[in-house]
């Protein structure tokens, strides 16, 4: 035998279940309890940048919309700065910029949407620049461990993005790119399984 | 010495996406392999929270929705630490919980189980860990409840737990179970976890030392988030 390594192991994930709203969005569950629910304002009204709305559906493997999904988003401000101490420029982040959002679907249609500002490009690894993107994390009943993905914009130059470039099959890269459908509006559908399956990330 | 990359998530201890005995996973699990990324600024950062975001009563589920008195059920404290895989406490991180009432009924407009709603129980709470990563809640022990999977499936008593850590790549939602519950071994959702030690890590022991005599019992539940290495040699993470 050798010496044991001292590390702990990460707690195992479990599905968020059908009633995730009780904990994370009680208003949607049908009751009022907290002074404020978290994650509803990503960028305060005075945060500079282009105001955008992103909307979409999450489809399951049968092509049906998933109506009990919960998404969280994480993004940089318009200058590509994260409001977090490990961003070397975080002292310059836009005031009142939260960067994080919590988004639930409409129970009847499955449609979700959120309003934010368009992020700027962010420094990547090895001095490469990442194209503007928003990180997304999806949980729901039937999803055992939260699914990570990224959303890029079809009106940006994504050709040199180091993460998109890692997607081996070029035709799959478009599953990560939102389509501009109107001024300031982007559509981003996520397919959990099957044809057009979204690229998910082990981050 | 700056901290750098997070340890790779040990997927052998985590439930895979496709677990057919948990039926909903069949149509909601990707079929293609995930793309593994080294951490960039987008992954090693994450949202931060402060005491202005929440209220002190938010961690007391016995009082935070009380209308005409206390909720019915077994009064308990749930407490523990949020740690990383290096065993260090994760300070000032948001812990959110939600649960059914003592009869196994959720206060959710989609829950139609015949057990009644408790007028004095909401079933959600949240708190920030202290400087050592410690947190606590007061609540009532949730009841088991039936769900439509196989025709006679019952969830063990459980509390859903959501934790942030310091990075978006540490984000975790899990469930806490209670020591000695015979339903744990029968549950297809618990069984999505492929490793018994990893299951055991989600079962909170009775903690009589933390109980309040003549008032409430206590359970201890530590939550472990991914750890990260320290930079012994140059790392190429931009910005470090």
Domain residue ranges of chain A, discontinuous segments joined by +: 12-201
In angstroms, the Cα distances linking A93 to A47, A118, B210, B219 are 10, 14, 43, 41
pLDDT digits (tens, 9 = 90+) for A64-89: 999 999 999 999 999 999 999 999 99
Rounded Cα–Cα distance for residues A143 and A179 (Å) = 26
| Residue A127: Cβ within 10 Å count | 8
Fold classification of B44-223 (topology level): Protocatechuate 3,4-Dioxygenase, subunit A (2.60.130)
- Check if the beta carbon of residue B213 is closer than 8 Å to that of residue B151: no
Does any CB of chain B come closer than 8 Å to the CB of residue A181?
no
Does any CB of chain A come closer than 8 Å to the CB of residue B173?
yes
* Secondary structure class of A115 (helix, strand, coil): strand
CATH code for A12-201?
2.60.130.10
pLDDT for A69 equals 96
Averages of pLDDT over each 10 residues, chain A, 203 residues: 95 97 93 94 97 98 97 98 96 96 96 98 94 98 98 98 97 98 98 98 96
Domain ranges of chain B: 44-223
Which residue among B22, B65, B135, B145 is the active-site one? B145
Residue A177 sits at φ, ψ, to 5 deg, of -115, 120
| Residues B57-82, mean pLDDT to the nearest whole number | 98
| Residues B48-57, mean pLDDT to the nearest whole number | 96
Does any CB of chain A come closer than 8 Å to the CB of residue B13?
yes
Considering CB atoms only, which of A74, A133, A194 is closest to B46? A74
A6 contacts in chain B (CB < 8 Å): 87
| Pairing, β B75-84 against β B217-220 | parallel
ipTM attached to this prediction:
0.96
Considering CB atoms only, which of B48, B58, B107 is closest to A31? B107
pLDDT digits (tens, 9 = 90+) for B113-165: 999 999 999 999 999 999 999 999 999 999 999 999 999 999 999 999 999 99
Rounded Cα–Cα distance for residues B102 and A164 (Å) = 48
Does any CB of chain A come closer than 8 Å to the CB of residue B91?
no
pLDDT digits (tens, 9 = 90+) for B207-235: 999 999 999 999 999 999 999 987 666 55
Rounded Cα–Cα distance for residues A8 and B201 (Å) = 10
CB contact under 8 A, B225 and A10: yes
Task: Establish whether B155 is a catalytic residue.
Answer: yes
Res. B237: pLDDT tops 70? no
DSSP secondary-structure letter at A127?
A: G
| Residues B3-10, mean pLDDT to the nearest whole number | 87
- Check if the beta carbon of residue B27 is closer than 8 Å to that of residue B19: no
Mutate to test the interface with A, among B47, B63, B143, B163 (most CBs of A within 10 A): B47
Res. B32: pLDDT tops 50? yes
Considering CB atoms only, which of A127, A144, A193 is closest to B238? A127
Q: Which residue of A has its CA nearest to B101?
A: A22
């Amino acid at each position: 035998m050798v010496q044991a390594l001292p590390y702990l192991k990460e707690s195992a994930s479990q599905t968020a279940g059908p009633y995730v709203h009780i904990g994370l969005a009680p208003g949607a569950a049908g009751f009022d309890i907290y002074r404020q629910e978290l994650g509803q304002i990503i960028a305060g009204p005075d945060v500079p940048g282009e105001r955008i709305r992103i909307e979409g559906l999450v489809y399951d493997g049968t092509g049906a919309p998933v109506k009990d999904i919960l998404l969280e988003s994480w993004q940089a401000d318009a200058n590509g700065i994260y409001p977090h101490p490990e961003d070397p420029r975080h002292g310059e982040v836009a005031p009142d910029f939260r960067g994080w959002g919590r988004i639930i679907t409409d129970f009847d249609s499955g449609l979700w949407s959120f309003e934010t500002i368009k992020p700027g490009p962010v420094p990547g690894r090895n001095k490469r620049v990442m194209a503007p993107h928003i990180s997304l994390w999806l949980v729901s009943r039937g999803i055992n461990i939260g699914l990570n993905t990224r959303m890029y914009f079809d009106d940006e130059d994504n050709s040199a993005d180091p993460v998109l470039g890692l997607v081996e099959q070029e035709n799959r890269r478009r599953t990560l790119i939102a389509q501009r459908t109107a001024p300031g509006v982007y559509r981003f559908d996520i397919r959990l399984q099957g044809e057009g399956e979204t690229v998910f990330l082990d981050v | 010495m700056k901290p750098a990359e997070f340890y790779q998530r040990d997927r052998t201890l985590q439930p895979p996406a496709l677990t057919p005995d948990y039926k909903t996973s069949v149509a909601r699990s990707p079929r293609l392999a995930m793309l593994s990324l080294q951490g960039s600024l987008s992954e090693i950062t994450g949202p931060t929270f402060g005491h202005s975001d929440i209220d002190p009563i938010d961690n007391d589920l016995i009082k935070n929705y009380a209308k005409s008195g206390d909720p019915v059920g077994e009064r308990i404290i749930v407490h523990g630490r949020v740690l990383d895989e290096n065993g260090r406490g994760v300070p000032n991180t948001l812990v959110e919980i939600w649960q059914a009432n003592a009869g196994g009924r959720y206060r959710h407009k989609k829950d139609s189980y015949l057990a009644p709603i408790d007028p004095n129980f909401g079933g959600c709470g949240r708190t920030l860990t202290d400087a050592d990563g410690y947190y606590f809640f007061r609540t009532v022990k949730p009841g088991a409840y039936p769900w439509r999977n196989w025709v006679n499936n019952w969830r063990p008593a459980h509390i859903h737990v959501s934790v942030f850590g310091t990075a978006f790549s540490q984000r975790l939602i899990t469930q806490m179970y209670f020591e000695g519950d015979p339903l744990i071994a029968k549950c297809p959702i618990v069984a999505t976890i492929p490793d018994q030690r990893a299951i055991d890590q989600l079962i909170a022991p009775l903690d009589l030392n933390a109980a309040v005599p003549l008032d409430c019992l206590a359970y201890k539940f530590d939550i472990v988030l991914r750890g990260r290495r320290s930079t012994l040699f140059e790392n190429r993470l931009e910005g470090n």
